[in-house]
Each structure stands twice: as structure tokens, then as C-alpha cells.
Amino acid sequence: MRYVPRALEIQVRRAVRNFPAVVLTGPRRAGKTWLLKHLFPEASYYLLEDPDIVARFRADPQGFLDGVSTPAVLDEVQNVPELFSYVRSRVDRRPRRMGQWLLTGSQEAPLMRGIAESMAGRAAVLQLWPLSQSETSRVTMLGGGYPEAVARPRVRSVWFSSYVQTYLERDVRAVTAVKDLSTFRRFLALVASRHGQVLNRTALAAPLGVSVPTISQWISVLETTAQILLVPPFYENLGKRLIKSPKVYVADSGLACHLLAIDSAADLARSPFRGAVFEGFVASEIVKAQTGAGRRRELYHFRDEQGLEVDFVVPASGGKLALIECKATSTVTPAMAAPLVRLADAVRAHRRGGGLPVQLLVHQARHDDPSSSAILPGVAALSFDRLIAALGLAGAAS
């Protein structure tokens, strides 16, 4: 597969011009190294999963770094966390030299601890997700966005099987002491079966025979390694009793389909998880667009104890809110927009003079559908491929 231009490129170039170090995080195999090698082909490269390189560094850290020509890509730095303090001392010697240290890592929490302790103010931190549909049309609900799975769809199932195995053996054991990997595999499948649901740790613990604290720890592992998205509840008080737990999604729809044993488009079309997979795909694409544009990740869900539920709430420009309901269908009806209207009325009553929120009913595309259509006053129905533009995120990075 040829290199696909990434939305994050502009942010990376900007960071390199303004910071001595740039840290690029994201899930394993999302394309972090590929991106940096493409943007900075002359940079030296060191993989800190190579036992020889790690041994050389630990035997003589200063001597090793003396031999590194900058700019340098130091890949998977979470394996050598002590490296941060040595890089910091070199940055401090020449604080005006920008873009000399390009660091990548697949475990965001350990990386952020190292940055907070050693690199505060010296490093820009960016996150790269797998490919988005706005970056290439080859990204689909069924296949997801991991570059290697996108490049070789015929062996996608084998790739995901290998990915899960590698993820279990490397990242999970690196983050926490999981003793029973077979139980953790079952946990992954169980999380996938709760895709798009409010997170209930007790319901996950019971069938696995483990404690709720263990489930909390394992959820943290999945979030740390960017394998899941936890979408928190919308925090604004609208005078309603809200469900305060996050919703959980497998971050990549292709991995979600693999864990759910959905192997073909026909399987997906008749799967009871079709709606949840579509909803998760929308969530992932919004997050990718936000981070690619250099914005904070701001994605929420709404659900109250009276049963009013709207899939996503996204802060939009001008202090407005975008309310989003997802439907895995090409045919939309006014009844599908009823939750949007009810929540919009509540927001408008609470924010007097604040204007009506943007209300979007997002559905799967038809070849002949218009850019959008009003199905109720104030509610626009639009196909998924037009959502990012409607949120003002298309091309925002430029």
C-alpha cells in the first residue's frame, strides 16, 4: 500500500518547528513510524524494541545518545522510560534547536508520565489513530482503518488474529501483570459484545469469574493502549437525572468486527451488532477528525433515567452543540429524530438565548442521496461521509 497522506501531518510539521521534541502516541500499527519516516526521510531511526539497541542504551546511555545523529526517530520509547531524562538534558543544552527528537509510543499513560516528569514544556504531544475514511475511501466499517488491514483485505482476518495475539503478548503484559491471557482474550470478546453500550463493570466481571477491580484494571489497559474509546456522559446539568457511566466502543471497527466474528459484508448486514458497529465507526471518525485537526477530543453521549438517549453530543463552533443520532440504514424517518428534538428543546430551555443546537441524523449513504435533507424542523439527515464537514472538521488542520 502506498503512503496515504495523514490529516495529522500539518500538526506534526508545526510541532517540529516549535518544540525541541515531538511525541507521537497512538495504538500499535496505526502508522506512527510510517508517518515520521515519510515526513523526515533524513532522520536517523532507532527501534527501542530491538534487544541490541535497548542493551546498548542501558549499558551506556550517554555514549549511546552521543552516537545518535539528530533529528532522530526513537520508536516505541515506552520500552525505555529512563530515556526521557537523558533526552531532556540534551534539549536543555540547546533549547533553541527545534525538532531534534521524534519519539513514538503505543502506551499513552506511561508516556505521559514520562513526559510530565521529564519533558514538560519541551515536547509537543500528538496522537495518531488508524486511517480515517476522510483520508482514504478504502477505510470501511468492516475493515476498519489499520493500514495493513486496509492494504490487504483478503487476509484481514489473519492480520487481526495476529494483531490480537501480539497485543496480548506485548502491550498487555507490558502495562499490567495479566496472569491468565485466555481469560483476557474472553474479556476482549466480551467488551466487543458490549460495543456501544453503557459500561457496566459488574456485568463484565460476572461471566469471567473475576473481580470488578480487575475489570477496571483491564479496561484501563485497553484505554491506555488506545484499543477502546470511552465516551463520557454529557456533563451539562439540564435539570435531568443522568446516567453517569461512559459508553464503551472498540476503537477500530475492523477489530470490533473481528472480535464479533463478522467476516464479510453479508455477515455485517444481518448482524444484530450492525447498528452498534456503525455507531462506533461514527465515534471513531469524529475523534480522528478532532485529533487530526489539532483539537481536543470532545465527544460525549447523553442518556437520562427517563430513557431519553442521544448517541453523541459534540461541542461545535460558536459555543453551540451538535447533537448526533446514528442509524445504520439508508432510509430515515422523522420518528428517528424524536430524541434529537427532545434533547434540543431541553438544551434550549436551559441555555436561554443560546440558540438551538445543531441536530444531525447520520445514516449510511445511498448513491443518489442529496447532501442533506430536513426531515423535521431544525433536524438535518445526512449520510455519514458528509458528517465531518458538517461538524466543521474537514480541512480544519490546514
Judge contact between 303 and 309, C-beta under 8 A. yes
User: Domain check: are 119 and 153 in the same one?
Assistant: no
Given a contact cutoff of 8 angstroms between Cβ atoms, the answer to whether 189 and 207 are in contact is no
| Amino acid identity, position 168 | L
Whether residues 197 and 259 fall in one domain: yes
- Residue 365 region by backbone torsions, left for phi larger than 0, else alpha for psi between -120 and 50, else beta: beta
Residue 59 lies inside a defined structural domain of this protein: yes
Q: Phi/psi of residue 248, each to 5°?
A: -115, 135
What is the structure's pLDDT at 320?
Answer: 82
Asked whether residue 344 is domain-assigned, the answer is yes
Instruction: Please spell the DSSP secondary structure of 65-115, one letter per residue.
Output: HHTPPSSEEEE-GGG-TTHHHHHHHHHHHSTT--S-EEEEES-HHHHHHHI
Max alpha carbon distance in the chain (Å)?
68
How many structural domains is the chain composed of? 3
**Which of 68, 94, 127 is the endpoint of a domain?**
127
pLDDT given at position 69: 95
Q: Please tell me whether residues 155 and 270 are part of one structural domain.
A: yes
Rounded CA separation 78/67 (Å):
21
Residues 106 and 164 in one domain: no
Block residue for cell numbers 428517528: 336
Final residue before a domain boundary, out of 276, 291, 325: 276
Residues 31, 103, single domain; the answer is: yes
DSSP character at residue 199: P
What letter represents residue 11's amino acid?
Q
**53 plus 88 within the same structural domain:** yes
Q: Does 107 lie in the same domain as 152?
A: no
Domain match, 313 and 212 both: no
Residue of 152, 328, 338, 176 whose CA lies nearest to 254: 152
pLDDT at 71: 97
Residue 185 in domain: yes
Are 222 and 250 a contacting pair, CB within 8 Å?
Answer: no
The parent domain of residue 354 ranges over 300-390
In a domain, 41, yes or no: yes
Based on the domain organization, do 87 and 37 belong to the same domain? yes
CATH code (residue 14)? 3.40.50.300
In a domain, residue 120? The reply is: yes
Interatomic CA distance for residues 88 and 200, integer angstroms: 41
Residues 106 and 212 in one domain: no
Unique residue bearing C-alpha cell 473475576: 210
Query: What are the two backbone dihedrals, phi and then psi, of residue 260, each rounded to the nearest 5 degrees?
Result: -95, 5
The answer to whether position 284 is within a domain reads: no
In a domain? residue 285 = no
Same domain, yes or no, for 117 and 188? no
| HSE-up (13 A, CA, CB side) for residue 22 | 30
Cα separation, 123 vs 125, whole angstroms? 6
CATH number of the domain where residue 338 is located: 3.40.1350
Exposure b/e, 208-244, CB count within 10 A at least 16 = b: bebeeebbeebbebbbbbbbbbbbebbeeeeeeebee
Rounded Cα–Cα distance for residues 266 and 283 (Å): 23
Strands (DSSP E) contained in 147-260 are 197-198, 228-231, 247-250
If asked whether residues 317 and 367 sit together in one domain, one would say yes
Kindly report the number of other CB atoms within 10 A of residue 42's CB atom. Answer: 6
Tell me, what CATH number does 186's domain have? 1.10.10.10
In a domain, 283, yes or no: no
**Residue 380, CB half-sphere, CA atoms under 13 Å: how many?**
17
CB 327 within 8 A of CB 362: yes
Three-state secondary-structure class, residue 64: helix
> Which run of H or E residues covers position 185?
helix 181-193
Residue by residue, pLDDT tens for the chain (398 residues) are 689 999 999 999 999 999 999 999 999 899 999 999 999 999 999 999 999 999 999 999 999 999 999 999 999 998 888 899 999 999 999 999 999 999 998 865 556 666 666 777 888 999 999 999 999 999 999 999 999 999 999 999 999 999 998 887 777 776 666 777 888 899 999 999 999 999 999 999 999 999 999 999 899 889 888 999 999 999 776 656 677 899 999 999 999 999 999 999 999 999 999 999 999 999 999 999 999 998 989 999 999 888 889 999 998 877 789 999 999 998 899 999 999 999 998 888 777 655 678 999 999 876 555 556 778 888 999 998 899 988 888 754 43
